[in-house]
Chains A and B, each alone.
Chain A
Amino acid sequence: MKPFWIYYQKEMLEASRTYKWIWVPAVFLLLGIMQPVSTYYLPEILTMSGEVPPEAAALFTIPSADSVMASTLSQFSTIGLLVLVLAGMNTVAGERATGTAELVLTRTVSTLPMMGAKWAAMMTLMLVSFALGLAGAAYYTHQLIGPLEWGAVASGGLLYAVWLAWIVTLVLPLGAVLRGPAAAFISLGTAAALSLLSGLLPSRFQWSPGRLSSMAAEWMLGAGAGAWAPVIAALLIMLLSIIAAAGLLRRSPLSPQS
Chain B
Amino acid sequence: MEINWGLIWPILALQAILAVTGLVSLFKAEPANIRGPRWMWVLIILLGNILGSIAYFAAGRRET
Contacts and interface: CB of A to CB of B under 8 A. Distances in A.
A174 to B, nearest CB: 16
A94 B58 CA distance: 13
* Interface size band for B: 20 to 34
A83 interface: yes
A94 B54 CA distance: 19
Interface string B47-63: 00011011001100111
Interface string B1-21: 100000110110011011001
Contacts of A144: 7
Q: Is the interface of A mostly helix, strand, loop or mixed?
A: helix
A232 interface: no
A135 interface: no
B18 to A, nearest CB: 5
A87 interface: yes
Contacts of A90: 63
A27 B7 contact: no
A27 B57 CA distance: 11
B63 A29 contact: no
Interface in B27-64: 50-51, 53-54, 57-58, 61-64
B11 A22 contact: no
Contact of A22 (B7, B8, B17, B61): B17
B56 to A, nearest CB: 9
Interface of B: 1, 7-8, 10-11, 14-15, 17-18, 21-22, 25, 50-51, 53-54, 57-58, 61-64
Interface of A: 18-20, 22-23, 26-27, 29-30, 33-34, 37, 40, 44, 47-48, 79, 82-83, 86-87, 90, 94, 97-98, 140, 144
20 contacts: A20-B57, A22-B18, A23-B21, A26-B14, A26-B21, A27-B54, A29-B14, A30-B11, A30-B14, A30-B18, A33-B14, A34-B11, A37-B11, A40-B7, A47-B1, A48-B1, A83-B54, A83-B58, A94-B63, A98-B64
